Amino acid sequence: MADVPIKTLTMQAIGTALASITAFESVNRWRNAPVDLDNKLLPCLFFYELVEIPTPRNRLMTNELRLIIDIYVDIPSYGYEDFTDDMDVLQAEVHNAMFSVINKDTLKGLVLECQQGPVKKEQANDMIALLRMEFFVTYGHNMGNAFSRVNY
């Protein structure tokens, strides 16, 4: 088996953590624009990196991923307040899953740091709503070797 870059392993591990949330019909690792929601069971989650910022540090390269998580849900007919509460539950489940990625036993030192960014709720129309969350995930490798692990 060929070596796998640390970034790929990190994104796969994040996908595994998010897929552990049973509320989602599917977890997809790709940018969701455009996506045909008529062909997806809801709620569904899409995650992707928006930008990556590398920072060289002596013999270590740290990389911060700005990770976007989009969750599409059906808008229920039972009221906006209850719907907002439902979205808050999904937000909490994603938060817990994302912060499980810093568990070094699970990821064997892939994720060095994870921070939550802004969260936004939108109603795209009268049938579909969007919960967008941003996370800043830092991983690292040895300078000049993107396949190496950094454990500290």
Residue 1 placed within a domain: no
The Cα 72–Cα 122 span in angstroms is 10
The total number of structural domains in the chain stands at: 1
The pLDDT of residue 69? 96
**How would residue 133 be classed by pLDDT, with cut points 50, 70 and 90?**
very high
SS3 54: strand
Residue 61 placed within a domain: yes
Q: What's the pTM? A: 0.88
The Cα 52–Cα 67 span in angstroms is 9
Residue 115 placed within a domain: yes
Encoded tokens for 63: 């990389």
Q: Give residue 48's domain range.
A: 6-66+75-142
pLDDT digits (tens, 9 = 90+) for 79-93: 666 778 889 999 999
β-pairing verdict for 44-57 and 128-142: unpaired
Residue 152 placed within a domain: no
Instruction: Tell me: pLDDT of 104 over 60.
Output: no
Residue 128 placed within a domain: yes
Here the CATH number for the domain that contains residue 120 is: 3.30.2000
